[in-house]
Structure 1
Amino acid sequence: MKRKDIILFMIVGTGFNSKSGDEGFRLLAQKLYSTITKIYPHHVVFFASDRSKETIGYIEELFENDNDEFIFEEDYHIVPIDAIDDFNACFEVFESKIWEFDMDITKEYQIIMDYTSGTKTMSAAMACCGMFYNKDLISVGGDRTTGEVSVGTEIINYQNLYKIYDRFAVIRIRHNFNANRFMACIETLKRIVDLNIEKESFLNLCKAYYYWDNMDFENAYSFLTKVNINQRHFIEIAVKLKKNLKALGIIVNSKSENLKNCYALASLINNSKRRAAEYKYDDAIARLYRSFELIAQIKLSKYNLISSDIDIDVLLEKNVSEDFINYLKKMEEDGKIKIGLTADFLLLNELGDDLGKYYKEHENKIKDLTQKRNNSVLAHGLESQSNEDFENFLQVVVDLALKLDKDMKRFLNETEFSKFDLKLQYNQF
C-alpha cells in the first residue's frame, strides 16, 4: 500500500503568554519544532498572523542547529490568518487548505491538524474543521507543573473522535428513520463502534421497518421482536413500538383471516401516506388503488366469494339477479369468472352491501379517480399525479375502510410507523 504524504497543519500563536518578546517566540518555536520532528511530515502548513510569523524564523534556526534544513515553500509555507478571533474566518481558511490538498488528483495526502497553539478561537475552529472533514487531530501535552507544557516533555496526543462521530451518526439515524430511509440508517449503523450505543437493537429496528415498508410482514415481525424496547434509545417510542409489534403479530400469527386482512389493509393505506409524504404521488396512488381493491375483496370474502373465482351457486343463494350474473359470466376466463375492481363493488351493491351502495353513490367521482390512476406512469399512461389527486383518492379509500370494519381507526393507528421525537437537532444547513 502506497504511503500517503503527511501534511501537518499548525496554528502559530504569538508567544505572548507567560513569556514575552523574543524569549516568548523562541519558546513557542521550540515546542512547534518538537512536534514537527516527532511527526516528520512531508510538508508543514503554518497558519499565522503577522504578529506570529517571527516564530517560524526561529524554527528554521532550530533545524540548522541540528544540521538540517527547513526550506520555505519546499518544506513549509505560511497561510496568513488575520481575523484570529473570528471563528468563521478561521474555519474558512483551514477549510480552503483541506480542499486544496484533498482535491489534488496527483497525490494522496494524510492531513494532521495540530490545534494546540494559537488563540482559543483559532484552536476551536481548527478542531471543528478537522472533525467536520474527518482529519487526524493532535494536541501537545506534557509536564504542566509551571502552567504550560515544559520544553522537552512534549507528548503528542492523537484525538480519537469516534464517540463524537457515533453520536452524530445516531442523530442522523433518527432523522433518516423518521423519513423512512431505513437502508441509509442500516449503512450508517454499520460504521458505529461505540459499545454504549445499542447498535444491534437499532439494526433490528431499522430492518423491521424496512421490511414492513416493503409489505414483508413476516420479516418485519421477526426483526421487531428482537428489538429491546426498554433500552434508553427507544424510551420515547416504546409505546408505539408495542402497538406496531402487536399489529405485525396479528398479521403474521392471527387465526382470523378477516383480522389479518384488515391490519394488512391498514398497513397498505399508511404505506401510501408515507409515499405521499415523500412527494411520490404516483407511487402513493398505486398503493391506494390496491387498498381499494383489497377492501372489496375482504368484504366479498365475508359472502364466501373470491374475485378471482366467482362461485355462481353462491350468487344464486344470495338472490343476485340473473342479468347481473350474465354480466359476470362475460368475464369468464379459463373456466373461472374473474372480476376486477369495478365489478367487485357492483357485486357488493347487488348484494345490498353498504360498500357497494357507497360506490354507486360516488361512482362518477370514483371513476374519475381510477381513470387518473390508469393514466399514471405507474399504471398504463405517462401522466403524473398530484397531491390533490392523492388526497381525493385517500378520502374515498379511508371512507370505505371505515365502513368495512368498525375498528379500522384503531388498525390505522397501530400500523402507523413509530417516529422519534427529534428534540435534539443537528445542523442541517
Structure 2
Amino acid sequence: PQSISELSEEYDRSIYEFACKAKKSFGFLKALCNKKEQYNYCEELVRDMLANARRKGEMGLYTDAILRLYRSVELWTQWKLGSDHKIDTSNVKEEDIPQYLIKEFACYKRNNKYKFYKLPLLASIKLLAEKRNKQAKKIINEMKDDLNDLMRARNYCSLEHNMEPRSKKDYDRLFDKVLKMIDFEEVELRIFPKF
C-alpha cells in the first residue's frame, strides 16, 4: 500500500490484534526497565529468560531452550548476589569470598595484582550459599545432581561445545528442575503473545 488509507481491513485487524497483545506486556517491560537501571540483574529479567526458554521449548527449539534455562539460573544467581550483597560475579573482590574458598576459586582470579575473580555458575552458587541464601544452600546440598545435569546439558548443546542435539524429553526434565532450583512457579512466567 502507498498510504495508511490503503491498508486492507485484514491488515488493519492484524495490526490491532498485535497492539492489543503487545499492550499486555507494557507493565512488565516498564518494571523490567526500571529495575534494570538500579542493578543489571533483577527478578523480572530472570522470569523473562525463563519465559523465553519455555517459548523456545514450545517451538521445538530444545537446544535454544536449554541454553536459556542455564542462563536463567545464572541470572538468578547474579541477581541474588548483586541485589542482596552488591557482588558482581564478573568482578568479585577477594574480601567478598570466604577465606576457605580462596584456594578453590584461585583459577577464577582475573588478575593477581588486583585480586578480582570472575566466577562461573557453580562457584557463584557456592558463594551465594555462603552468604546464607537458603535456596542456594538447597541447590548445593540437595540439588547438586540437578545442577550438574543442567550444566552437562548446556555443555553438550550443539551451540556450545558439542554437536549433540537436545530433545523435548531433555528440555521438559530440565525446565522442571530449573523451576525448583530457583524456586519459581511456571504460572508466574510471562506468556508471549502468539501471532
In 1, are the aligned partners of 2:55 and 2:192 still within 8 Å (CA)?
Answer: no
Q: How much has 1:303 moved relative to structure 2?
A: 1.0
Give the length in aligned residue pairs. Answer: 186
AA aligned opposite 2:101: F
AA aligned opposite 1:270: A
1:396 aligns with 2:173: no
Q: Alignment identity in percent?
A: 25
Looking at CA atoms only, which structure, 1 or 2, has the larger radius of gyration?
1
Task: Give 1:284's aligned residue.
Answer: 65
- 1:236-257 deviation per Cα after TM superposition (whole angstroms, max 9, x unaligned): x5xxx55411001111234774
In structure 2, do the counterparts of structure 1 residues 291 and 363 end up closer, same or farther at CA, with 3 Å as the change threshold? Answer: same
Taking the TM superposition and a 5 Å limit, the aligned residue runs for 1:98-113 are: none
Please, which of 88, 100, 119 is the counterpart of residue 306 of structure 1? 88
Task: Give 2:120's aligned residue.
Answer: 340
Q: How much has 1:284 moved relative to structure 2?
A: 0.6
Taking the TM superposition and a 5 Å limit, the aligned residue runs for 1:377-388 are: 377-388=158-169
AA aligned opposite 1:417: F
* Alpha-carbon distance in structure 1 between the residues aligned to 2:88 and 2:8: 54
* Alpha-carbon distance in structure 1 between the residues aligned to 2:126 and 2:145: 13
Q: How much has 1:291 moved relative to structure 2?
A: 0.8
- Structure 2 residue runs of 5 or longer lacking an equivalent are none
Please, which of 74, 81, 84 is the counterpart of residue 293 of structure 1? 74
Q: How much has 1:373 moved relative to structure 2?
A: 1.8
* Alpha-carbon distance in structure 1 between the residues aligned to 2:169 and 2:145: 17
In structure 2, do the counterparts of structure 1 residues 410 and 250 end up closer, same or farther at CA, with 3 Å as the change threshold? Answer: farther
1:416 aligns with 2:170: no
Task: Give 1:325's aligned residue.
Answer: 102
* Alpha-carbon distance in structure 2 between the residues aligned to 1:342 and 1:311: 17
AA aligned opposite 1:332: K
- TM-score, normalised by the number of residues in structure 2: 0.81
AA aligned opposite 1:333: R
In 1, are the aligned partners of 2:108 and 2:117 still within 8 Å (CA)?
Answer: yes
- TM-score, normalised by the number of residues in structure 1: 0.39
Task: Give 2:132's aligned residue.
Answer: 352
* Alpha-carbon distance in structure 1 between the residues aligned to 2:170 and 2:93: 35
Taking the TM superposition and a 5 Å limit, the aligned residue runs for 1:3-402 are: 193-195=7-9, 197-198=11-12, 202=15, 205=18, 227=19, 229=20, 241-254=22-35, 257=38, 261-301=42-82, 302-315=84-97, 320=98, 322-334=99-111, 335=114, 336-360=116-140, 361-402=142-183
Q: Give the number of the structure whose residues are more often strand, by fraction.
A: 1
* Alpha-carbon distance in structure 2 between the residues aligned to 1:398 and 1:339: 22
- 1:271-325 deviation per Cα after TM superposition (whole angstroms, max 9, x unaligned): 111111111111110111111111111111111111101122234xxxx3x2212
- Structure 1 residue runs of 5 or longer lacking an equivalent are 1-189, 206-226, 230-236, 421-429
* Alpha-carbon distance in structure 2 between the residues aligned to 1:243 and 1:409: 18
- CA RMSD in angstroms, aligned pairs only: 3.0
Q: Which has the higher contact order (CA 8 A, sep 6+)?
A: 2
